[in-house]
Amino acid sequence: MYTYQDLEKVLDDEEKKVAFVLSCINDFKSSKAYEFGKDAKQYYEGTNPVLEKYQKIVYDMQGIGHVDAVSPNHKIYSRYVFSAITEGTQYLLGNGVSFDNQATKERLGGDGLDTVLQRLLDDAQVYGVGWGFWTGESLKVIPYLQFYPLKDENTSEVKAGVRFWQLSDEKPLRFVLYELDGFTEYIQKAGEKPEVLQPKRAYKQVVKTYGANLPDEITESENFPDFPIIPLYYINQKSILWGNTAAVDAYDMLNSKMVNNIDIGNLVYWVLKNCNAMDENDDAAFVANLIKSHVVHADGDDGASAEPHQVEAPVTSTEVGIARIKRLLDENFMTCDVESIRSGNVTATQIKAAYQKLDAKTSKTEYCVIEFMKRLFTVVGIPDSEKFTFRWDRTINKNEEITSILQAAAFLDEETVTRMLLEVLGKIDIVDEVLQRREELAKERYALIAAENGAEPQEQ
């Protein structure tokens, strides 16, 4: 593992610095974190790295294993991980982030900020951390498998980092060293030494263009107050898959097993009489031919015969196992209990109970996103006191919620009641317009009342 202090030792020697950066890349690629990240990416994308490598093995009389090339080997991927992560992200960030000062959101990229935050939280759940890069105009996502952070040994804060990518072994390796005071781009073509593609430059530059025949001029260069690559850590800085991969594997295995058993149909074994001359190879050839042709030849003159014996596929027991593992996954991933609120017109209390685990997980996740936003404010130069909120995308019984708000309206001011009602209706984004129209209507009513009473209307 390399740190920021290791980088400082080689900053004055370009050759050593390039060698150090390449060592960082190789160290990351050979690490357990990188291997876990590659597997986690497969789980999230809807496959299963364990099930993908699975082969059914049959053993002969000598105990030697052979790949079973005859029996069905369907591999059913549940995509449970993708569903759970998507639910967690959209529940918290599905409605975006709202700022008291709308100009602040525009400064951070406008509505594009919401999309980037969702991608970052997806990465944080998959890998344990998502990397956000502030370019000076907007927030970008750096893929987890392309970034090696260099942390300060004293504070554990990320002070520098290396991003790298390569389309294939035959294509050039591109990598960038990000530091507090700028970044340097490198390239290494196949079979060649690495070289500087773009010398070190500041993160923010003002370029003046003169014309087609004159070179551009950099008139100003400036960096950010803090390192512009910001980590969005997940709960305990661990992937949501940490400790859960075995249960996901079992769930996919059981689903695959059930489909394979059904594909075979009822399990059948054969009793071959007066066929003592047949060896194991003959037995295997008999079964393989039977599966392919569904035809059995028996020599009746010699008394040879083949009798099938049927054993029902254990579908029921497999379904019980699948349901049990599914409950375990729901508990471990802390998902919403959808089954309990799927039917009929459920009450608000029932809905809250179904969301209890998801609410608890989301509360912790929200702190992670808030911490990220505070770090982003520091980089951009926004005051730490800037207020922002997330509106969770919860299923509710709207009639009950609206009734509760109206019953409490006598004890609340009009603006609060309006905000609460619009939030229930999913129209919180137009709250400023509604409040402004209400204020205009109130002024018009006041003017009419004043005119009827013969008084001059006054400014409110």
Cα separation values, 41 from 35, 37, 260, Å: 10, 6, 26
Give the pLDDT of residue 243.
Answer: 92
d(CA 291, CA 206): 73
Which token pair is 454?
């013969």
Whole-number mean pLDDT of the chain?
A: 85
- Kindly report, residue by residue over 335-365, the tens digit of the pLDDT: 988 877 776 667 777 778 888 999 999 999 9
Give the pLDDT of residue 391.
Answer: 84
Residue 249: alpha-carbon gap to chain centroid: 18
**Nearest residue to 244 via CA among 32, 34, 39:** 39
Cα separation values, 364 from 90, 309, 361, 408, Å: 15, 57, 5, 29
R_g over Cα of the chain? 32
pTM value? 0.78
Give the pLDDT of residue 42.
Answer: 95
- Kindly report, residue by residue over 233-249, the tens digit of the pLDDT: 999 999 999 999 999 99
- Kindly report, residue by residue over 149-190, the tens digit of the pLDDT: 999 999 999 999 999 999 998 999 999 999 999 999 999 998
- Kindly report, residue by residue over 57-82, the tens digit of the pLDDT: 777 777 787 777 777 788 889 899 99
Give the pLDDT of residue 2.
Answer: 95
**Nearest residue to 129 via CA among 153, 108, 146:** 146
Q: Which of 36-50, 87-101, 137-151, 292-306 has the lowest mean pLDDT?
A: 292-306
Which token pair is 351?
């809905």
Q: At what angle do helices 32-45 and 14-29 cross, to 10 degrees?
A: 50
Q: What angle do CA 41, 46, 51 make, to 5 degrees?
A: 90
Which token pair is 37?
């990240």
Encode the chain in three state secondary structure. Answer: CCCHHHHHCCCCCHHHHHHHHHHHHHHHHCCHHHHHHHHHHHHHHCCCHHHHHCCCEEECCCCCEEECCCCCCCCCCCCHHHHHHHHHHHHHHCCCEEECCHHHHHHCCCCHHHHHHHHHHHHHHHHCEEEEEECCCCEEEECHHHEEEEECCCCCCEEEEEEEECCCCCCCEEEEEEECCEEEEEEECCCCCCEEEEEEECCEEEEECCECCECCEEEEEECCCCCCEEEEECHHHCCCCCCCHHHHHHHHHHHHHHHHHHHHCCEEEEEEECCCCCCHHHHHHHHHHHHHHCCCCCCHHHCCEEEEEEECCCHHHHHHHHHHHHHHHHHHHCCCCHHHHCCCCCCHHHHHHHCHHHHHHHHHHHHHHHHHHHHHHHHHCCCCCCCEEECCCCCCCHHHHHHHHHHHHHHCCHHHHHHHHHHHHCCHHHHHHHHHHHHHHHHHHHHHHHHHCCCCCCCC
217, pLDDT greater than 60: no
Residue 411: alpha-carbon gap to chain centroid: 42
Region 397-419 average pLDDT: 81
Q: At what angle do helices 80-93 and 112-127 cross, to 10 degrees?
A: 140
Go through the chain and tell me how many residues it has: 460
How crowded is residue 415: how many other Cβ atoms within 10 Å of its Cβ? 13
Band of residue 210 on the pLDDT scale cut at 50, 70, 90? low
Which token pair is 36?
């876990």
Which token pair is 293?
């042709």
Which token pair is 425?
């209706």
**Nearest residue to 239 via CA among 347, 444, 84, 438:** 84
Give the pLDDT of residue 207.
Answer: 59
